[in-house]
Structure 1
Amino acid sequence: MVTTARTLISQRQFGKAIECLDNALEKRPDAVEWIRLRGNVLQIVARHEDALKDFENLIALAPSDATAWHKLAFSLRSIDHFEEAEKAFLRALALDPRSVDSMADLGTLYRDTGRHREAVDWLSKAVDSTPADSGLQAMLGAAQLAAGEPESARRSLEKAFGLNPYDRTALAYLYVSLCQTGDHEIASSLIQPELLIRSFQRSGSAGTSGHHDDLDERLADHIRQHPTLEFERPGNTTRGGAHTGNLLDEAPGPVLELVKWIEDRVRAYLDDLPTNESHPYLAWKPKTWDVDIWGIVIRPGGYQQSHIHRDGWISGVYYAAVPDSVQSGETDSTDGCLEIGRPPEAFCGTTDFPIITLRPRPGRLNLFPSYVWHRTHPYKDDGERICIAFDIRPKV
């Protein structure tokens, strides 16, 4: 069963892998490596409270396991138990003082809780230990931005970009540092809304004239009834709304129809993009990819915080249901809209970032680079805003 679970994990069939591990652990509940494996998968699918139980059990069986303490801390941080997470990270480092992962994640915890000097110190230690890691350089740059050190941040992020020009996290924070240090021309070249941000309207949707099919209604019902739908799912940026797991994991139903339509639009989008060897996004176009796709149900007052998609190359959102007042613009001009370009408040400083606002409509698809910061605005009127978000993840 465990061998099957590992195969399913390699195929990203995480739900089925968890079922296999559940069955295996019923027979051997003290199998340390099986507990660890299930906890790791639960973290991947953002079931952090369940993962927390596994790592607590693992520590009870192996109290000197530094990796288990690190994983425990990660789950605690993901459900906003920051003080307990800090203690667990420090325990992991006491057991393994050279753990770069623990240094980096502790630094990120300090960054997210406003302890900026400690964040920079711990992330600097991590970078000193592994200077060729672009991800660590990017994390240090983000901490320096939050600490109000844009020049230092830019140097760190340029190093990260030099190590890996395809690192989406590095690109996202490099954009912020370029804006904050006044290099707006280079910054704007990374977004180029007229070229890199595209919208498509599905014929047959309620957002078009003529005959309307029922795909959007079936998608909305599928998401409302999805077994993984969870209100304010830990580790996600949704506030005042609910979020599913991967809609392709099991019984995808009408999502398969939508994915086929989306992939056709992605191919058209890629065909229209010019090739530019000096641009991190235009220098390379994926020919094959996997799709990670999930549903989001936002209710009045709900919104999504500014974020990027670290695992994607192209990201997008498709709207299955939109309140009438939001799609018509009858209320405040940005109510319920998608805003592109502004990073989280912690990284903004005093900089005014150029923004693009896109109004949702049923059947509307928006595509953009995965490293572009985006958020949604809350709305006041009744009705649900149901969308399907996704990442196009190139096959390596």
Structure 2
Amino acid sequence: MFSTPLIRARHPELSKLVQPLKDAILEHKRAQAGIKRSNFGGWHSELGMDRWAGEPAQMLVSMTSSILEDQLDVQQMDGTHMRPGWAVDMWANVNRAGDANAQHCHPGSFASAVFYVDMGASGGEPKDGHFVVEDPRYPMAHMQHPNVLWKGASGAGAESQVAIMPEAGELIIFPSWLRHAVRPHSGLGERISIAMNLTLMWQAPGGAR
């Protein structure tokens, strides 16, 4: 009951975007100092990546919105046929070994997404640097006794946090209210990801908003 949606998408067309997006991010990183948000260390670009990274970034936005829409139940009101359009904020993150992102959410948006360009393992399999999501009901699961938990869908005690190890070329989409974080990694390379916020902009069938 009361499930929380989280989409994990892999597709050959997403994989094709990895190298051109990596090249655009590293080139931009050399020219820009970056900003501070949820990141502890690392480099966080300014918004507007769909502009400064060109066509590959715009293709990623298009694919992300399409995947998201496939998972929505759009209920029409007053017989008016509208379809969701999206205003998108987009930026890049580059974390070296030991860098992390604090637990946070993205107020003001409908959905958020992260696309993984490089996991920073530098040739090996990544063993850390997980993307972590928090049960929005936390700390309710631990209110009376932290070691006595309701069973979850798997039959084990319900977890207050779930750690996900993505792979390069993977896209994760989730509600913007879902608190999430990024754990430090210990790889020799740079962990590169792209984040997006998608805000609903209703539009009529002909495209007028």
TM-score (norm 2): 0.73
Q: Partner letter of residue 113 of structure 2?
A: G
Distance 2:69 2:199 in 1: 13
The corresponding residue for 1:388 is 194
The corresponding residue for 2:25 is 223
- Moved runs in structure 1, 4+ residues, more than 4 A? 347-353
- Secondary structure of the corresponding residue to residue 104 of structure 2: coil
Q: Partner letter of residue 218 of structure 1?
A: P
Distance 2:20 2:114 in 1: 17
**Structure 1: gaps of 5 or more residues:** 1-187, 207-212, 276-284
CA contact (8 A) 2:32 2:45 kept: yes
**Residues 26-45 of structure 1: matches in 2 within 5 Å?**
none
Structure 2 residue aligned with 1:200, among 1, 5, 9?
9
The corresponding residue for 2:61 is 259
Alpha-carbon spacing, 1:359–1:325, altered in 2? closer, same or farther (3 Å) = farther
Q: Partner letter of residue 240 of structure 1?
A: G
Distance 2:83 2:102 in 1: 28
Alpha-carbon spacing, 1:267–1:274, altered in 2? closer, same or farther (3 Å) = closer
The corresponding residue for 1:244 is 45
Distance 1:326 1:242 in 2: 22
Give how far 1:386 is off: 0.7
Distance 2:83 2:8 in 1: 20
Alpha-carbon spacing, 1:198–1:393, altered in 2? closer, same or farther (3 Å) = same
**Residues 209-358 of structure 1: matches in 2 within 5 Å?**
213=16, 215-226=17-28, 229-231=32-34, 233-234=35-36, 236-245=37-46, 246-250=48-52, 252-270=54-72, 273=73, 287-324=84-121, 328-329=125-126, 331=127, 335-341=128-134, 354-358=160-164
Q: Partner letter of residue 38 of structure 2?
A: T
CA contact (8 A) 1:292 1:392 kept: yes
- Secondary structure of the corresponding residue to residue 19 of structure 2: helix
**Structure 2: gaps of 5 or more residues:** 76-81, 147-158, 203-209
Give how far 1:380 is off: 1.0
Which one has the bigger strand percentage? 2
Alpha-carbon spacing, 1:289–1:204, altered in 2? closer, same or farther (3 Å) = closer
Q: Alpha-carbon deviations, 1:343-394, whole Å to 9, x = none?
A: 8xxx969766622222121110111100000001101121111111001111
- Secondary structure of the corresponding residue to residue 262 of structure 1: helix
The corresponding residue for 1:37 is none
Give how far 1:269 is off: 2.2
CA contact (8 A) 2:7 2:172 kept: yes
Distance 1:393 1:327 in 2: 37
Distance 1:261 1:381 in 2: 29
Q: Alpha-carbon deviations, 1:256-299, whole Å to 9, x = none?
A: 122222222122222xx587xxxxxxxxx971221111111111
Q: Partner letter of residue 319 of structure 1?
A: Y
Distance 2:6 2:172 in 1: 7
Distance 1:368 1:230 in 2: 29
CA contact (8 A) 1:326 1:337 kept: no
The corresponding residue for 1:367 is 173
CA contact (8 A) 2:96 2:120 kept: no
Alpha-carbon spacing, 1:311–1:239, altered in 2? closer, same or farther (3 Å) = same
Alpha-carbon spacing, 1:355–1:230, altered in 2? closer, same or farther (3 Å) = same
Structure of higher RCO (CA pairs closer than 8 Å, 6+ residues apart): 2
The corresponding residue for 1:65 is none
Give how far 1:316 is off: 0.7
The corresponding residue for 2:206 is none
Q: Partner letter of residue 230 of structure 1?
A: A
Q: Partner letter of residue 337 of structure 1?
A: H
Question: Based on CA coordinates, which of the two structures has the bigger radius of gyration?
Answer: 1
Query: What's the % identity of the aligned pairs?
Result: 24
Moved more, 246-255 or 373-382: 246-255
Give how far 1:325 is off: 7.5
- Secondary structure of the corresponding residue to residue 361 of structure 1: coil
- Secondary structure of the corresponding residue to residue 248 of structure 1: helix
Distance 1:393 1:326 in 2: 37
Distance 1:230 1:336 in 2: 23
